[in-house]
């Protein structure tokens, strides 16, 4: 983890749910929001051990956090997670929809299962959490939703029809819910990372990684901190008048 001082505790008293936070971008986001003072609920679906590592890192840095298990693609489970959070904390302020999967394949080879798995997790997962938490945001007259999309959802990407569709869908979801809830004090934005160094991208063949890096004007892959800094900004006061936006953090990949 890159050690960086966060000078303000502007999220003190806030409760943040970060989905898929036991590794990668979600982990960096969880740690950064905790350093800003938020109590962070580290959602995981697979490994409790890894989620607990993140919680421990948060606590060792003087922050507050807790692991919370839920498969975001399960509508009912997301409802139960929302109730559990409200029962314990009475409010929830920030939702970062970060959980995501890939099942890359060319369209002629892509199975129905590969398509459904990606859409169910990346797009329906975000619908599920937003659907269940929004009623609390409305009651509180405040909330902040940040959806982790992707440049693949902005430009499309060969071999990723399912993933790109899910990430483009997230952009539509972001803009629509932003319009619905802006008058009620709820902001909704999307962050579209480019090519970021995580376990997700480590799984790519070396040739594909080299080609991807060659397409980045900045000449390097992004780090999880590059993304976490933007999410933290959107979660904070400085972004009070920003809603319905899609912000790329991609080293210039999507420059027109
Ligand atoms: P990652 O694979 O390291 O992390 C994804 C996390 O989501 C994992 O912890 C995983 O367990 C969790 N997850 C998967 N399915 C889940 C489910 N059903 N319920 C709860 N959690 C679930 O990937 P990452 O690179 O850190 O990506 C994080 C997000 O950023 C994803 O949405 C990804 O699509 C997006 N993104 C990543 C990149 C990149 O280059 N790494 C680029 C653009 C967008």
Residue 96 φ/ψ, nearest 5 degrees: -110, 110
Q: Is 109 exposed, middle or buried (0-12, 13-18, 19+ CB in 10 A)?
A: exposed
> Separation of 198 CA from ligand 1 center, angstroms?
9
- pTM summary value: 0.97
Task: Say if CB 29 and CB 63 are below 8 A apart.
Answer: no
95 by DSSP, 3-state: which?
Answer: strand
Is ligand 1 within 6 A of the CB of residue 76?
no
Is ligand 1 within 6 A of the CB of residue 55?
no
Is ligand 1 within 6 A of the CB of residue 28?
no
Task: Say if CB 235 and CB 227 are below 8 A apart.
Answer: no
Element containing residue 18 per DSSP (H, E): strand 15-18
Is ligand 1 within 6 A of the CB of residue 169?
no
Residue 75 annotated as catalytic: no
> Separation of 222 CA from ligand 1 center, angstroms?
15
> Residue 225: CA atoms inside 13 Å, Cβ hemisphere, count?
7
Which candidate, 14, 28, 91, 3, places its Cα nearest to that of 223? Answer: 28
Residue 249 is predicted with a pLDDT of 98
User: What are the 10-residue block averages of pLDDT along the chain, 256 residues in total?
Assistant: 68 98 98 98 96 98 98 98 98 98 97 98 99 98 98 97 98 98 98 96 89 94 98 97 98 90
Residue 246 φ/ψ, nearest 5 degrees: -120, 115
Residue 4 is predicted with a pLDDT of 62
Top CATH class of 15-194+228-248 equals alpha beta
The span from the CA of 221 to the CA of 202, in Å, is: 11
The span from the CA of 215 to the CA of 213, in Å, is: 5
**C-alpha angle with apex 149: 134 to 196, nearest 5 degrees?**
135
170 by DSSP, 3-state: which?
Answer: helix
Residue 204 is predicted with a pLDDT of 86
Residue 7 is predicted with a pLDDT of 64
Query: Catalytic residue among 44, 89, 163, 241, which?
Result: 163
Residue 256 is predicted with a pLDDT of 65
Is ligand 1 within 6 A of the CB of residue 72?
yes
The span from the CA of 52 to the CA of 226, in Å, is: 23
DSSP 11: T
Alpha-helical segments (H) within 159-223: 161-181, 199-202, 206-214
Nearest CA to ligand 1 atom 16: 99
Measured from the Cα of 196, ligand 1's closest atom is 40
Structure tokens at 213: 């890096």
Residue 50 C-alpha from the chain's centroid = 17
Nearest CA to ligand 1 atom 12: 20
CA distance from start to end of the chain = 33
Is ligand 1 within 6 A of the CB of residue 24?
yes
Nearest CA to ligand 1 atom 10: 20
Nearest CA to ligand 1 atom 38: 196
Residue 123 C-alpha from the chain's centroid = 11
Nearest CA to ligand 1 atom 6: 20
Task: Say if CB 170 and CB 128 are below 8 A apart.
Answer: no
Domain spans of the chain? 15-194+228-248
């Amino acid at each position: 983890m890159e050690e960086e001082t966060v000078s303000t505790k502007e999220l003190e008293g806030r409760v943040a749910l970060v989905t898929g936070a036991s590794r990668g971008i979600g982990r960096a986001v969880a740690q950064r929001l905790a350093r800003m003072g938020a109590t962070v609920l580290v959602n995981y679906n697979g490994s409790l051990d890894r989620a607990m590592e993140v919680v421990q890192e948060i606590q060792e840095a003087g922050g507050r956090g807790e692991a919370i298990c839920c498969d975001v693609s399960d509508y009912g489970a997301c409802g139960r997670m929302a109730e559990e959070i409200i029962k314990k904390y009475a409010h929830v302020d920030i939702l970062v929809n970060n959980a995501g999967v890939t099942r890359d394949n060319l369209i002629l080879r892509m199975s129905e299962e590969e398509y459904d798995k990606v859409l169910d997790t990346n797009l329906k997962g975000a619908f599920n959490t937003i659907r269940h938490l929004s009623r609390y945001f409305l009651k509180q007259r405040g909330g902040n939703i940040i959806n982790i999309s992707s440049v693949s959802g902005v430009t499309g990407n060969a071999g990723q029809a399912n993933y790109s569709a899910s990430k483009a869908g997230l952009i539509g979801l972001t803009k629509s819910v932003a319009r619905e809830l802006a008058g009620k004090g709820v902001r909704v934005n999307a962050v579209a990372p480019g090519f970021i160094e995580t376990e997700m991208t480590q799984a790519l063949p070396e040739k594909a990684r080299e080609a991807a890096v060659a397409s980045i004007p900045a000449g390097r892959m992004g780090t999880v901190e590059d993304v976490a800094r933007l999410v933290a900004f959107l979660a904070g006061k400085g972004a009070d008048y920003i809603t319905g936006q899609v912000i790329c953090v991609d080293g210039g990949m999507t420059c027109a």
